[in-house]
Amino acid sequence: MFGFFKKSFLQSELLNGFTDVHCHILPGVDDGVQKMESALHILDFYEEHGVKRVFFTPHVAEELHENNRDHLLQRFDELTKLYKGGIQLALGAEYMIDNGFEMLLDKKEDFLCASGDTLLVETTAQNPPINMSQIIFELQDRGYDIMLAHPERYFYMHTADYEELVAKNVQLQLNLLSIVGLYGEHAKKKGKNLLEKGMYTYVGTDLHNLKRHQQQMGIKAFSKSELKAIATLIGNNNQLPIGK
Residues forming the site for Fe ion (CB under 5 A): 94, 206
Which CB sits closer to Fe ion, 152 or 206? 206
The residue with its CB nearest to Fe ion is: 206
For the CA atoms of 61, 43, 208, 223, the dihedral, rounded to the nearest 10 degrees, stands at 120
Q: Tell me the CA end-to-end span of the chain in Å, nearest whole number.
A: 43
Residue type, 8: S
Query: What minimum distance in Å lies between the beta carbon of 57 and Fe ion?
Result: 6
Which CB sits closer to Fe ion, 22 or 220? 22
Chain centre distance of CA 82: 24
Distance CA 48, CA 135 (A): 40
Query: What minimum distance in Å lies between the beta carbon of 176 and Fe ion?
Result: 12
Which CB sits closer to Fe ion, 206 or 226? 206
Query: What minimum distance in Å lies between the beta carbon of 1 and Fe ion?
Result: 30
Which CB sits closer to Fe ion, 125 or 221? 125
Query: What minimum distance in Å lies between the beta carbon of 31 and Fe ion?
Result: 9
Query: What minimum distance in Å lies between the beta carbon of 5 and Fe ion?
Result: 30
Please provide the DSSP assignment of 131-192 as one string.
THHHHHHHHHHTTPEEEEE-GGG-TT--HHHHHHHHHTTPEEEEEGGGGGTTT-HHHHHHHH
Number of helices (H) and strands (E) in the chain: give both, helices first.
Answer: 9, 9
| 51 to 7, 16, 89, 203: CA distances (angstroms) | 19, 5, 11, 14
Residue type, 1: M
By 3-state DSSP, what share of the chain in percent is helix, strand and coil, each rounded to 5? Answer: 45, 15, 40
Which CB sits closer to Fe ion, 43 or 93? 93
Query: What minimum distance in Å lies between the beta carbon of 178 and Fe ion?
Result: 12
Which CB sits closer to Fe ion, 7 or 24? 24
